[in-house]
């Protein structure tokens, strides 16, 4: 009898051991499998794949179709990519979220080609509003009609009951009508502003144009958007970015966009990951805040300014503007003040990015950063230079030497390239939007759009960076073609580098096991076609955390 019991126990033990081994070798079934694809992973250790398995919001396997089929279960949803190209979701490292969303709901002036068209669009839009409602955003470009700045007389007759404050597309100049200036108490007796410009007529009367530090005179009088308006703006922005394959943004807008996004997150309605910033001079607010960051919403970034923009002649240069002797632009913020703010914020372990466009501005912020690093020691700061548009050649190596991130917007190159040579001359053009020179110097370059200043399309940004064909069609071989980069370099700048710039490289930016399932399906493999044709490529589907947030396809089973 003891022998029989022993044999029985051994059999039971063997069965349990066998069950355990089978269980250990059994692959957990995935919630979603994406298969039959050309996947550009962005991961140097596994550059391409055919399929991937996703559990909840995370990639659990990526490889060949055969390898990933092991993760298929009865409840697994299968997405057949039909041989199309997949990349990590685009990360736009520079947007103005609520401003951009609100611009989608307001008058569109970006492509108005004449003063008459400009005025008519504002007048037509005013007819849709109630008396007293403000007309905002706009994003006009006076270079399209020869460079004459608009004056209040252009639109006053169309907008007697509606205040107008519309931005030039670079965001460093606004145009206001008489109704808005009356509300703001601005007239010929209004004093000039240091480091700002109130454009006046021969009689000293404001024409309606306000530049850089003069802008708050009028902008600060605009009523804050209502909660309903903010939510409408964010909703419009999320849909817009989903359609463009953008799954994460670095939002350089305002505190109100973060609060609005937080409400969306609480309701489960957020479809865009947001890295939110605050003005650099408000650093103490973030230093004292409880930064409860998560996969969707993150804070800790501060944005400062050194100068203005090229189009408004407020970017700071070492030498004169080529079209205006004696004008070198100016610094908006004193370097000593910047240094004080950045040092304090850095000691609070906050992240800093500073807007610098002219070569003097870039040189100034590099100097500030360098002095802080030497004084306080090295650590993983990831200081950023926002825009970094015009750089003297000797400053290019300093980006990598100091560990700087160049946060750049390639679409600006094909826009500014239409007229920039008249403003800065042929010599300075050579290191303007110097994508290749910076990458060759081992600089970490992240790309963004500056939306709504430029379209929030990463595909157009990649097209711009790889072709440098200006919008006027006059540079078919590229404006400063020696600064063109490859498609893969541009893809990296819109994915992996964007994640690095927000300290998120461990969770997103590439498609690999353990990272978030943020990815897009494109109509063509952009690494295989002529870069000139990239602007014809479109986003078929966008997934954020394994959930579809955009679908252009007409096939129900796609």
> pLDDT 10s digit of each residue in the chain, 558 long?
455 555 555 555 555 554 544 444 567 899 999 999 999 999 999 999 999 999 999 999 999 999 999 999 999 999 999 999 999 999 999 999 998 999 999 999 988 999 999 999 999 999 999 999 999 989 899 989 988 999 999 999 999 999 999 999 887 899 999 999 999 999 999 999 987 899 999 999 999 999 988 999 999 999 988 999 999 999 999 999 999 999 999 999 777 799 999 999 999 999 999 999 999 999 999 999 888 899 999 999 999 999 999 988 899 999 999 999 899 999 999 999 999 999 999 999 999 999 999 999 999 999 999 999 999 999 999 999 999 999 999 999 999 999 999 999 999 999 999 999 999 999 999 999 999 999 999 999 999 999 998 999 999 999 999 999 999 999 999 999 999 999 999 999 999 999 999 999 999 999 999 999 999 999 999 999 999 999 999 999 999 999 999 999 754 433
CA atoms within 13 A on the CB side of 48: 9
CA atoms within 13 A on the CB side of 524: 14
pLDDT for 211-261, tens place per residue? 988 999 999 999 988 999 999 999 999 999 999 999 999 999 777 799 999
In Å, what is the CA distance from 152 to each residue of 146, 534, 548? 18, 40, 46
Chain-centroid distance of CA 490 in Å reads: 14
Give me the residues paired with residue 249 across strands. 92, 274
Cα distance between residue 12 and residue 498, in whole Å: 55
Cα distance between residue 101 and residue 408, in whole Å: 21
The pair of structure tokens assigned to 431 is 């290191």
**pLDDT above 70: percentage of residues in the chain:** 94
The pair of structure tokens assigned to 366 is 């590099």
Cα distance between residue 391 and residue 376, in whole Å: 26
Say if CB 458 and CB 494 are below 8 A apart: yes
Give me the residues paired with residue 275 across strands. 250, 298
Q: Which DSSP category does 553 fall into? A: -
Q: How far apart are the first and last CA of the chain?
A: 64
Task: Tell the burial category of 342 from Cβ atoms under 10 Å away from its Cβ (0-12, 13-18, 19+).
Answer: buried
Cα distance between residue 146 and residue 506, in whole Å: 48
Cα distance between residue 143 and residue 175, in whole Å: 15
- Reported pTM: 0.88
Closest CA to 216 of 234, 232, 198: 198
Alpha helices in 143-298 (DSSP H): 178-184, 216-219, 227-243, 255-267, 283-287
Say if CB 120 and CB 130 are below 8 A apart: no
To the nearest 10°, report the CA torsion of 368, 373, 376, 382. Answer: 100
To the nearest 10°, report the CA torsion of 216, 222, 226, 227. Answer: -10
> For residue 290, what pLDDT is reported?
83
Say if CB 163 and CB 130 are below 8 A apart: no
Say if CB 439 and CB 445 are below 8 A apart: yes
> For residue 530, what pLDDT is reported?
98
Residue 66 has φ and ψ, to the nearest 5°, of -65, -45
Say if CB 253 and CB 237 are below 8 A apart: no
């Amino acid at each position: 009898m003891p022998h029989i019991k022993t044999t029985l126990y051994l059999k039971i033990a063997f069965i349990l051991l066998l069950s355990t081994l089978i269980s250990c070798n059994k692959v957990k079934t995935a919630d979603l499998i994406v298969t039959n694809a050309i996947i550009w992973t962005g991961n140097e250790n596994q550059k391409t794949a055919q399929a991937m398995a996703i559990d909840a919001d995370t990639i659990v396997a990526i490889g060949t179709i055969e390898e990933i089929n092991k993760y298929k279960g009865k409840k697994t949803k299968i997405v057949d990519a039909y041989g199309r190209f997949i990349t990590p979701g685009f990360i736009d490292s520079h947007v103005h979220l609520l401003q951009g969303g609100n611009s989608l709901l307001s008058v569109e002036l970006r492509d108005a080609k004449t003063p008459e068209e400009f005025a008519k669009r504002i007048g037509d839009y005013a007819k849709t509003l109630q008396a007293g409602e403000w007309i905002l955003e706009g994003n006009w470009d006076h270079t399209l009609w020869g460079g004459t700045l608009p004056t209040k007389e252009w639109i006053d007759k169309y907008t007697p009951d509606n205040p107008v404050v519309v931005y030039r597309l670079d965001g460093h100049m606004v145009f206001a009508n008489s109704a808005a200036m009356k509300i703001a108490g601005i007239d010929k007796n209004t004093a000039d502003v240091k480091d700002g410009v109130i454009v006046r007529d021969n009689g000293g009367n404001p024409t309606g144009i306000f530049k850089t530090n003069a802008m708050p005179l009028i902008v600060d009088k605009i009523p804050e958007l209502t909660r309903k308006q903010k939510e409408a703006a964010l909703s419009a922005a999320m849909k817009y970015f989903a359609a463009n394959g953008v799954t994460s943004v670095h939002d350089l807008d305002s505190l109100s966009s973060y609060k609005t996004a937080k409400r969306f997150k609480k309701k489960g309605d957020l479809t865009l990951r947001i890295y939110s910033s605050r003005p650099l001079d408000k650093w103490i607010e973030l230093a004292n805040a409880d930064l409860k960051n998560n996969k969707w919403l993150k804070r800790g970034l501060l944005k400062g300014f050194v100068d203005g923009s090229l189009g408004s002649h407020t970017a700071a240069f070492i030498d004169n503007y080529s079209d205006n002797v004696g004008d070198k632009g100016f610094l908006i913020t004193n370097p000593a003040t910047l240094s004080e703010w950045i040092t304090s914020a850095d000691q609070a372990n906050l992240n800093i990015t500073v807007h610098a466009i002219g070569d003097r501005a870039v040189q100034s912020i590099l100097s500030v950063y360098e002095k802080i690093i030497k004084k306080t020691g090295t650590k993983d700061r990831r200081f950023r230079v926002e825009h970094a548009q015009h750089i003297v050649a000797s400053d290019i190596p300093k980006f990598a030497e100091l560990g700087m991130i160049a946060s750049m917007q390639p679409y600006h190159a094909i826009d500014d390239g239409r007229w920039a040579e008249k403003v800065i001359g042929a010599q300075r053009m050579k290191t303007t939007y110097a994508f290749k020179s910076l990458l060759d110097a081992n600089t970490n370059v992240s790309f963004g759009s500056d939306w709504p200043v430029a379209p929030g399309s990463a595909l157009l940004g990649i097209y711009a960076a790889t072709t440098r064909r200006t919008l006027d069609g006059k540079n078919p071989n590229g404006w400063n073609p020696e600064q063109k980069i490859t498609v893969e370099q541009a893809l990296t700048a819109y994915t992996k580098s964007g994640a690095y710039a927000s300290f998120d490289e461990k969770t997103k930016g590439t498609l690999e096991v353990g990272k978030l399932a943020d990815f897009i399906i494109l109509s063509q493999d952009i690494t295989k076609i002529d870069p000139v044709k990239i602007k014809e490529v479109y986003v078929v589907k966008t997934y954020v955390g394994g959930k579809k947030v955009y679908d252009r396809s007409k096939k129900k089973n796609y």
